[in-house]
Amino acid sequence: MLTPEQKARELIDAQLMAAGWVLQDRDQLNRTAALGVAVREFPTASGPADYALLVEGRLVGVVEAKKEGTSLTAVAEQTARYLTSATKHVPRTAEELPFGYEANGHEIRFLDRRDPEPRSRPEFWFHRPETLRDWARQTATLRARLQELPAVEPAGLRACQVEAIRNLDVSLKHDRPRALIQMATGSGKTFTAVTAAYRLIKFAGAKRILFLVDRGNLGRQTLQEFQAYTTPDDGRKFTELYNVQHLTSNHLDDVNKVTITTIQRLYSMLRGEAEFEEGNEERSGFELPADAVSKRPREVAYNAALPPETYDFIIIDECHRSIYNVWQQVLEYFDAHLIGLTATPSKQTFGFFNQNLVMEYSHERAVVDGVNVGFDVYRIETEITAAGARVEKGSSVKLMERQTRRRRWETLDDDLVYTGNQLDRSVTTPDQIRTVLTKFRDELPQLFPGRTHVPKTLIFAKTDHHADEIVDLVREVFGKSNDFCKKITYGTTEGKPDELIKRFRNEFNPRVAVTVDMISTGTDIRPLECLIFLRDVRSRVYYDQMKGRGTRTISLDDLRLVADQDVEAKTRFVIVDAVGVTESEKTETTRTERTGGISFEKLLEAVALGSEEPAHLRGLATRLARLDRQLTDEDRATVAAHGGSGGPSVQQLAGRLFDAVDPVRQETAALALAGQAGAAEPTEAHWQQAQQQLTATATVALNDPALRTLLTKLHAQKDMVIDLVSKDRVINGGFTTRHSAEEAARRLAQTQVDSFTAFIAEHRDEITALQVLHNQPYQRRALTYREIKQLAEALKLESPPLLPEHLWAAYEQLEQSRVRGAGPKTLLTNLISLVRFATQQTEVLEAYPLTVEQRYQHWLGRQQLAGRLFTEDQLGWLHMMKDRIATSLSVSADSFTLPPFIDQGGYGRARALFGDALPAVIEELNDELAA
C-alpha cells in the first residue's frame, strides 16, 4: 500500500509528464533526452531535491514535493534553499536557479526569483519546458517589465480613462493578481481596456491577452473597437500592428496577440471539443441569472493544447454574476493577471477581485463630467396594471396555444380573475398595452418638446410573445408601417438580430425596438433617448445595466442622422415606467433557483439523459407542479392510463424530483444507509449513495420517451388567455424623477401586500398551511413547522419580496398603528400572524412570539389559581419550552437534544425536575400556546 508521500509523487509525476517533461531517476540521467527533463532525487549541497528541472540540458529550477494536505506556503523556504544550493558538473542557467515549485499532488505553487519582489503564487499546473526556456532567455520578467511602464499619454482619452489606466498600472506594479475597474456605462470602458492592452503588449511585452465578453454580439462589437483604435504613439491601427482574433471556432491562432471570446467557448476549448455551437454564445449571463448561479462550478482539467501560461492577462468585460461561481475555475486555470470591467458591480464582483477596486467612476459623476446624460422618469399607472381585472362568466375570451400559437374562442364557465403580476405571462390584455402606448404617444410633446418624430425608443418586454403583442400595438397606436417598430429578440424571424441592431443604431427606421433580453446589456446604441419598461426587474445590477442603454452621449451630427434635423442635442433620456420598475425593491442576486431560458421539453430531455444538476431537478419539479395545477380530470386520466395502475401522477413526479434535492430527505436516506452499515453517522459515501438513490427513484419514469412526449404535449396545450373584454384606463401619469422616498416606499409596500393577498387567494386550496390557517384558524394540531416552511418556500419561489421580513416591513409601512413587534423578522412562524392578518382573522398584526408569550402568561395564571406552583428551576425550563414553541410551533422530546436544552442537562434534567408529569406538561404547552 502506497504511503501519502508516494501517492503525491505519483500524481506529481503524471502532472509533469502531461506538461511535456520527461521523467528520469538520478541514476538514469540523460539531460538531453528531451527539451525538458525532470530528474527525481537530484543531489545538491543541501541534500537531494525532489525534482530538478533541466531545459536544453541546463538546470532551471526545482520542485519540492510534499504529501497531500501539506500547506505549501510554509515550504517556500525549503525550495529557496535548493535553488541556491550548489550542484556538481551540471550546467545551470544562473548561479541561483530562477524557478521554484512546491507541490503535493493537488496544489502547486510557483516562484520566479528574478521578479522585483519574488512571491510565490498558486498555479493550476506545471509550466511547459518551452515556457521556462523562453522565460529564462528574457532579460527581465513580466513583473519586472510592469515596473517600467511609461506615463499614460492623455491625448485622445477622457480624464476618467486616464485615471483608470494609471491606477491599473499601479496595481500591476504591486503585482496584485486581480483588479476591478468600475466605470459608468457609456464612459468608454472598452476603449480604456484596448488602450491598456496596447500598453501591456508594447511596453510590458505581454505574449497574449484574453478578452472575455458576455455574449457573441459583444465580441463582434469589441473586435470593431480594436480595429478602430489608433495607437497614440505610432499612429497606426491596433490591428495593423498586432493580430486580434475573435473566436468563432475552437481553433486558436498562435500568432494572435489578443483573443476575444465568451467563457462558454473557452470552457469548450479547455475540454478539448473540436467545435462549439455559436448559438450558445448569444445569451447574456444576466438572461439565465438564477439558473447560472445555481449550477455547480464548471470543473476543468489540464489541456496541453491550451496550457495555463497561454495568456498573461485576462480582461473580463461585463461577464456577470455566473462568471464568479460557475466559471471561476476556468478563470483560475490561467497563470494570468485578471482585470475586470463593469459599470454595475455586485458583492460577488468585489469579492472575486479581492476588493481591489482600482477605479470607481459612477453614473452621477459621468453626468456631471458630460460623459453620460442623466434621465427623467415618467410614470404611467393603469387600473389593470395595478390591480388586474375580472372577466365575468359567460364572456368570450380568446385562447392561444403557446406552442402552435393557434387561437380559438371560448366562453367562460366561471369568472376569470387575474392580478397585475399575471399580465403577459398567463393572461395578456391588449387594451392594457394599448392604453400605456396611447398615453406615451399623447405625452410625447411633453416628454420631448419640439420633436416631429418619435425619438429612438427601446421597449423591454416580458417574453417573446409579449414582444410580438407590443410590436403590433405600437404600429397600430402610431399608425405606422412595419419599418417603424421591430422586435429584436432571439426569437426574431425578420432577419438576423445583429442586422436589426445595426439598423436601429444607424438608420432612421426603426424608430422603436422591442426586446426581452438581447439588447438589455452591453449593446451600444447611442441615439437611444427613451426606454419603456413593460416588465419589472428585481436585480439591481440588471436594472442598472438596462438603464445604461440610454446613458450614452452622441455627437449632434450623428444624432441628426437618425432624428429631427433641428434637434439641438441629446441632453438626457426618459424612462417611461409602466410597471413600477423604478419603485420596486432591488436585490443583489436572484434568491430562487430557476431554469429560465430552458424549455420544458429540453429540461425533460436533460433529466432523461442523466443530468443530476439540482437546478434541473428542482426546476423540472416546479414546472411539473405548475402543470399539475392546470390539468383537467381528463388530462389526469390520460396520464394514469399511460402509466397503468402503478404509474406515477404528474404531482407524484414533481414530488419525487423535489425529494431528490431536499436536504431533509437526503439526510434521512443517508442515516438509513449508515444504520444498515452499522455506522453511527453517515459518511460522504452514504450521502452520495442517498442522493443517487433519490435521483434514480425520481427520474426512472422519465426514461420513458412516450411519457415525456405526453407531458410535453400537455404542457404545450396549456393556453394563454387573451382578455379582449377588459378595458383599461390611466389612473396616474407624470414625471416622478423627484418621487419622494416615502411615497416610493409606500407604493412598494402596497405592491407587496397586494401580491401576498393574491397569493393566498390563489393557493389556499393547494398549500397545507394555508388550508389549515384559512379553515381552522384556532387549531394547530394539523399545522407543523415543516408545513410553514413549505409555505415560505412557495412564497419565495413566487417572488423574493414575499419573504416574511419584507412582508412585515410592508405592513409596518402601511399599517403602523396596527402592527406590534416582529422579533427576528426572518422568523418563519411570523407567517402565521401575517396570513391571519391578511385574511382579516385578526385586527392587529402581532408577532407570533408575542402571541405565544401572552398565552403562556395566561396559562401560568390559570395554573396558579388552580394551586399548581412551579419552582424557579421548573419555570426556567418552561420558559425555554415556550420559546421553542414560538420559533418552531412545537416542543418535543427531540427538542431536548438541542440548545439551549442540552446545555442545561437535556431531557434527563427536565425529567428530574418534572418527574413523570413531564410528557403531560409538554403536551399541554403545545396545545395551549401553539394555536
Instruction: Provide mean pLDDT across the span 835-858.
Output: 85
Residues 6+ apart with CB under 8 A from 221: 190, 522, 523, 524
Residue predicted with more confidence, 737 or 155: 155
Buried b (16+ CB within 10 A) or exposed e, 803-830: bbebbbbbbebeeeeebeebbebebbbb
Residue 627: pLDDT above 60?
yes
CA distance 625 to 766: 11
Residue 135: pLDDT above 90?
yes
Residue 379: pLDDT above 80?
yes
What are the pLDDT digits (tens) for 254-272? 899 999 999 889 989 998 9
pLDDT of residue 740: 41
Residue 494: pLDDT above 60?
yes
Instruction: Provide mean pLDDT across the span 679-684.
Output: 78
Q: Residue 783's pLDDT band (boundaries 50, 70, 90)? A: low
pLDDT of residue 406: 66
pLDDT of residue 86: 92
Which residue has 469589441 as its cell numbers?
222
Q: Are 633 and 649 in contact (CB under 8 A)?
A: no
- Cell numbers given for 60: 532551471
Strongest mean pLDDT among 94-98, 181-185, 340-344: 94-98
CA distance 425 to 462: 8
* DSSP 8-state class, residue 176: -
Q: Are 309 and 127 in contact (CB under 8 A)?
A: yes
pLDDT of residue 308: 96
**Among candidates 319, 304, 315, which has minimal Cα distance to 264?**
319
pLDDT of residue 472: 94
pLDDT of residue 739: 39
* DSSP 8-state class, residue 205: -
Among the ranges given (96-110, 170-184, 721-735), the one the predictor scored with the smallest mean pLDDT: 721-735
pLDDT of residue 644: 56
Instruction: Provide mean pLDDT across the span 908-913.
Output: 91
Residue 207: pLDDT above 50?
yes
* DSSP 8-state class, residue 324: G
Q: Residue 195's pLDDT band (boundaries 50, 70, 90)? A: very high
pLDDT of residue 403: 52
Q: Residue 593's pLDDT band (boundaries 50, 70, 90)? A: very low
Torsion of CA 796, 802, 808, 813, to 10 degrees: 160
* DSSP 8-state class, residue 372: B
- Cell numbers given for 666: 437526503
Helix (H, G, I), strand (E, B) or coil at 865: helix
Neighbours of 728 (CB within 10 A): 20
Mean pLDDT of the chain: 84
Residue 93: pLDDT above 80?
yes
Residues 6+ apart with CB under 8 A from 9: 50, 65, 105
Predicted TM-score (pTM) of the model is 0.64
pLDDT of residue 211: 97
Instruction: Provide mean pLDDT across the span 834-851.
Output: 84
Residue 488: pLDDT above 80?
yes
Residues 6+ apart with CB under 8 A from 792: 803, 804, 828, 831
Among the ranges given (74-83, 683-692, 895-904), the one the predictor scored with the smallest mean pLDDT: 683-692
pLDDT of residue 826: 57
